[in-house]
Structure 1
Amino acid sequence: MGEVLDSYQLLLRGALITVQLTLYGSALALVLAIIFGLAGTSRSRAVRTLNRVYVEFFRGTATLVLMFWFFYALPLIGFRFTPMFAAVLALGLNVGAYGAEVVRGSVNAVPRTQYEATVALNFTPWQRMRRVLLPQAVALMLPPFGNLLIELMKGSAIVSLITIGDLTFRAKQIQSSTGETLWTYVAILLIYFVIAQLLQLFVRYAERRVDRMLGRRPSGKQPVGTLAGAGVKG
């Protein structure tokens, strides 16, 4: 175990690459999820078809196969990507497809009365989405988005197969040089767990902020009149 602890710098460098992959991949996935998720709520059949093609194709394709295709197959026809770009693209496209369904379902889950109110107020379609529908939908999106974010982070372990020095790649290096299989993988298991918990804390913080913005979470302070009224009734 001491030899594994002595290699902490390698583990830290690998953890940093894993965090970078998670941030870049999730940023791409978020953009794709919003674009294609909103496309799925469009009245245009052609736009909705575009949503279905993207979602069904990339949701039904293995991330590992996508990554190998970008990194090993595309260079054969003249397109070359760096390992990091190929990994981020594969992770983002795959998770973005799941996220698009989350966005579509969340927007459609906003009560119909909210939409009717925006029509009565003569809002444009853009105003309806930006001011009323999307803010309420975000509160519904965040919990499943948190799950997808953690799944993306854990899925990034496969990038070691295209020579990216992530946490799993560094663990293999330490294991081969020290022979410490058990403690090496115990160490990276704990590091992955810590990263996942930090991501979850971030998502929960975002949930609380959105709930407060929408007036769904009490501030923790009650007016004096309310407390007095409660005492009289008791």
Structure 2
Amino acid sequence: MFNNINTFVPFIYNGLLITIQVFLIGALIAYSIAIIAGLMRTSSNLFIRGVATLFVELFRGTSLLVQMFFFVYALPTLLPAVDLPLLFAGALAVGLNYGAYASEVVRGAVLSIHVGQTEAAISLNMSKWQRLKLVILPQAVRLMLPGFGNNAIELLKGTSLVYFIGLADITFQANVLRGGNNALSDQVEIYTYLLFSYFLLALPLIFLARWLEKRASKGVSTS
């Protein structure tokens, strides 16, 4: 069955750099957005909370693929001065979409910190920024890590959609191969390699997430 490994795998991996670039840019955008939007949603200011909620629900409630099409085809029409490079447009859509989901991880972690922690910080005459920086976030980050780890893996898988906008990632390369190899056995072989490619890319993320969780939990009582 796997007779073409020396031909198929190198061809698929021609798109590896695109996949990694979209993931890294998308992850940077996603976690920046997650922290900003997540903290905004914990604000006591109704306007700030409302803006963040609108953003989160917009990107969680619409299709990632449609968002990609919007940034690539609709946005340049609405704003002719904005002409995003294809790779950045794809990564932006991925980052905003998964950032909206990850913002809920941030919000939940911040809100889970016991109110007594805030009250104690207030009694020490800490400002709101000092309470957030020195008391709440150090504890909340530890709670965010499992959700962030899962989000990173989901984000990696979401990068496979960029082939719909013409980016030659590994999914695009696999589909090109499929077009030139009509035999059923060849198609099974191609998508098996693609399947394991995403799994191998996800493995470092899984191990990194577990390592960070263990490191963050050192010295923390579970009782």
- TM-score in terms of structure 2 length: 0.91
Counterparts of 1:99-178 in structure 2, within 5 Å, are 99-178=102-181
Give the whole-Å Cα distance in 1 for the aligned partners of 2:89 and 2:16: 19
Aligned to 1:184: 190
CA offset at residue 5 of structure 1? 2.7
Give the whole-Å Cα distance in 2 for the aligned partners of 1:17 and 1:49: 36
Give the whole-Å Cα distance in 2 for the aligned partners of 1:17 and 1:34: 26
Aligned to 2:10: 9
Counterparts of 1:11-26 in structure 2, within 5 Å, are 11-26=12-27
Amino acid across the alignment from 2:164: L
Judging changes above 3 Å, is the alpha-carbon distance between structure 1 residues 182 and 92 closer, same or farther for their aligned structure 2 residues?
same
Comparing 112-121 and 171-180, the one that deviates more: 171-180
CA offset at residue 217 of structure 1? 7.2
CA offset at residue 74 of structure 1? 1.9
Give the whole-Å Cα distance in 2 for the aligned partners of 1:185 and 1:135: 43
Q: Deviations over 1:42-90 (max 9, x none)?
A: 1111111111111111110111001001111222231322111110111
CA offset at residue 121 of structure 1? 1.2
Aligned to 1:232: none
CA offset at residue 175 of structure 1? 1.9
RMSD (Å) for aligned C-alpha atoms: 1.6
- 1:81 to 2:69 alignment: no
| Alignment check: 8 A CA contact 1:4 1:178 kept | no
Q: What are the ranges of 5 or more consecutive residues in structure 1 without an aligned counterpart?
A: 219-234
Q: What are the ranges of 5 or more consecutive residues in structure 2 without an aligned counterpart?
A: none
| Alignment check: 8 A CA contact 1:59 1:94 kept | yes
Give the whole-Å Cα distance in 2 for the aligned partners of 1:16 and 1:161: 17
Counterparts of 1:24-39 in structure 2, within 5 Å, are 24-39=25-40
Aligned to 1:206: 212
- TM-score in terms of structure 1 length: 0.87
CA offset at residue 202 of structure 1? 0.9
CA offset at residue 10 of structure 1? 2.5
Aligned to 2:202: 196
Give 1:216's match in structure 2, choosing from 211, 214, 220: 220
Give 1:97's match in structure 2, choosing from 94, 100, 109: 100
Q: Percent identity?
A: 41
Aligned length: 216
Give the whole-Å Cα distance in 2 for the aligned partners of 1:102 and 1:69: 26
Judging changes above 3 Å, is the alpha-carbon distance between structure 1 residues 59 and 88 closer, same or farther for their aligned structure 2 residues?
same
| Alignment check: 8 A CA contact 2:8 2:190 kept | no
SS in 2 for 1:7: helix
CA offset at residue 144 of structure 1? 1.0
Amino acid across the alignment from 1:63: L
SS in 2 for 1:41: coil
Structure 1 residue runs of 4 or more that deviate by more than 3 Å after TM superposition:
none
Q: Deviations over 1:163-186 (max 9, x none)?
A: 111110111122223342010000
